[in-house]
Structures are given as structure tokens and as C-alpha cells.
Amino acid sequence: MRSAVHDILPPAIRRSLIKLGTDIARARRQRRLTLAMMAERMGVGIRTYSRIEQGDGSVALSAYAMALFVLGFGPALGDIADARHDDLGLQLDEEHLPKRVRVKKTPTSQ
């Protein structure tokens, strides 16, 4: 049974997930791990892991994260949306910087 999430994913996202799944499959094979070994190390069923390698968008993000961790790519997921690498966000922040900075005058006590 196919999830409804597949129907609403934009094509670019579907392609990205398929590429991620293909990359995970390749990394698994390079490490000489079977599907069963990966599934066991991740704590998921073989079918779930197979869906990851197919780039299925209905698989939980935590399962993809665990696959990356098992393969040794754990920290990579945390850097995807790192604010230091968000060029658009940094540009938008810069656009909202004030042109001048004024010090507020405080009333002096008498």
C-alpha cells in the first residue's frame, strides 16, 4: 500500500530521496553489509530498510538518520540546515539590520 505522502511530494524531493536511498545502498555494499545486517543494526525490519534504499518518502526521518549513523555518516544529518550555511537566511538577516543605531536617552534623576 502506497502512502499519500508520495502523491504530494514535489518531483525534486522524490528525486533527492531516491538519490539518498541509492547512496545509502552503495555505502552499505561498500562496507560489505547485507540488507539483514543493516536492518538488525538499525533495529528495523528488512522491508523498512529496503524502502529506505528505494528512497520511500513515507519512511520516518529517524530511520534514514539511523541508516546514516550505522554507515558512519551520523553527524551529516545535523548539518543539513545549519544556520551558518544558510546563505538565504544570512542574507535576509543582513537586510533587516538597522541603518543606524541610536542610544536611548534616559531621564536623569534629580
CATH code assigned at 67: 1.10.260.40
For 28, list phi and psi in degrees, rounded to 5: -60, -45
Which residue range forms the structural domain that includes residue 36? 5-73
pLDDT number for residue 109: 60
Task: Count CB atoms within 10 A of the CB of residue 95.
Answer: 7
Tens of pLDDT, residues 30-85: 999 999 999 999 999 999 999 999 999 999 999 999 999 999 997 877 888 788 88
User: Residue 2's pLDDT band (boundaries 50, 70, 90)?
Assistant: low
Domain count, the chain: 1
